[in-house]
Chains A and B, each alone.
Chain A
Amino acid sequence: MEEPLERRAVISGAAQSDIGRRLYRSGLDLTIEASLRAIEDAGLTVADIDGISTYPGMGGPFGGCTGAELHDALRFSLNWRDGGAETSGQLGAVHKAILAVGAGLAKHVLCFRTVNEGSGGAMRASGGGGGAMPPAFEYLIPYGVTSAANWIGCYARRHMHDYGTTREQLGAIAINARTNAASNPQAIYTDPMTMEDYLGIRMISDPFGLYDCDVPCDGSTVVIVSHRDYAPDAPNGAVHVNAMGTALRGRPSWDQFEDLTTMAMRDSAASMWERTDLTPADVDTAQLYDGFTWLSMAWIEALGFCKKGEGGPFVEGGARIAPDGDLPLNTNGGQLSSGRLHGFGFLHEGIMQLRGTANVPVADCEVAVVGAGGGPESGCLLLTKEIR
């Protein structure tokens, strides 16, 4: 019998914070205390920890803190993080950590659950518990920037400053999406767009105009993930997961990421390529998040299709990213023209390309890369038609 995956994992340390009826300490404070004790109990240091797993994550009941708060508070550099209630109960956080370790995604995953029910109400009533908004936004919202257009616009601006990237180069991504959307019966916007149209539309958050921003929509995308033993039985052909990119090695922040000319896709992409012998030269199509035009460019650079800073010249004129170009990009129209399906639209299109059933098929498509996310939210997949 095949050895069960979970046998590859162990629990190397355990500890609790101080426990009491009302400690009048924040959930983060208690989590840090227990974390440092447990890390020491395991004979490790903060630098050794490369994963965090928590239940229930953001918005969960009974106080506590989120994985991101702990991530930033001790400046962890992570290859994997998970948090959420949609799992196998509170221990689901541990189950997922075991799977991640067994799969080789992380070496040491810190799992936690913190409750702050006793003090939480009292501290809020006295004004000492703070924070009606998530900490990530506490220093952004007061300055009138509530939109990702503002936050990501800052990165695009710095990229333009450092590398000479132009509005016309960003426009090539928007026009490519609009051109491809014309063949997609589910697309939102299909009227042709010229560079004049792109440059002439009103500005939202300079350097982003309206056509740099994706379009909200209603819709659902579903994919079924199965064991590869099932592949011969899949009636429409199975697409193989060759590698996944999960790393979060920088600060989990919209405004405090160390490098203002890239985002967390830098780490997603690097960690994906670390897990495969395939290279960017093997990729036949790229489906890359375009919540804003510049994000696709940042993904292209992060994935190594060109050098860092050369994404502008890479997409300029649009020929290279067209369906018959070297790197067909967002062949269904992307979120810019086909609607914000929040990353899953790119995954769907990558699968259709590998099956050969896309609306705008790429010739001889064997390898597709899918990258989703902007700012501190990011992950990618390398999919292949056959096992590679």
Chain B
Amino acid sequence: MSADPPPRFISPHAEGEFYWTSGADGVLRLQRCGDCRRYIHPPGPVCPYCHSRALSPEPVAGTGTIATFTINRKEWIPGFEPPYVFALVEIDEDPTIRLGTNIVGCEVDDVEIGMRVEVEFEANGEWHVPLFHPLPVERSEE
């Protein structure tokens, strides 16, 4: 996307505010349970699995795999110019955690299910919006 970021209407609940500010130091963080150690998304007040309240944001690698996506070609929001890709990315630490995001750094027609991606952050007002770009294809040759 261009240097002028689109309007994103970010309005987090208290437990999720960190998600939109974590990128200030270039690190993606997800809520994690201090007791059973599972990741939780979207963030909430109580662990859905063990009911612990010992929850806090913890850094993750910021890499994952595209589970699915759509290429949006219609303008829904003035200033949010199509075409753009909305994707669901499964993170490497726990593939049941699925992050909605835009895919940047490639043509929209080059996006594929199974593509490996890595987080980057878009400065947008007070927020640092997690976006993902393709990772270079790994080569198996010596």
Contact = CB atoms under 8 A, between A and B. Distances in A.
A255 B45 contact: no
B14 A256 contact: no
A72 B87 CA distance: 22
Contacts of A145: 70, 72, 76, 86, 100
Contacts of A74: 46, 48, 51
Interface in A192-233: 202-208
Contacts, number: 129
Nearest to B77: A144
A143 B70 CA distance: 12
Interface stretch (B5-13, B21-29, B133-141): B5-13
A75 B48 contact: yes
B123 interface: no
Given A144-B76, A255-B100, A157 B69 contact: yes
Interface string B76-93: 110010001011100000
A73 B44 contact: yes
Contacts of A204: 72-74
A140 interface: yes
A130 B80 CA distance: 24
Contact of B42 (A26, A139, A202, A260): A139
B49 to A, nearest CB: 7
B129 interface: yes
B102 interface: yes
B68 interface: yes
Nearest to A209: B73
Contacts of A138: 11-13, 16, 42
A130 B100 contact: no
Contact of B71 (A29, A73, A206, A260): A206
A158 B73 contact: no
Contacts of A157: 68-70, 113
Interface string A153-165: 1110110010000
Nearest to A210: B74
B94 interface: no
A373 to B, nearest CB: 20
20 contacts: A73-B48, A75-B48, A129-B14, A130-B11, A130-B12, A130-B17, A131-B12, A135-B42, A139-B100, A140-B100, A142-B20, A143-B101, A149-B74, A150-B72, A154-B70, A154-B88, A157-B68, A204-B73, A205-B71, A205-B73
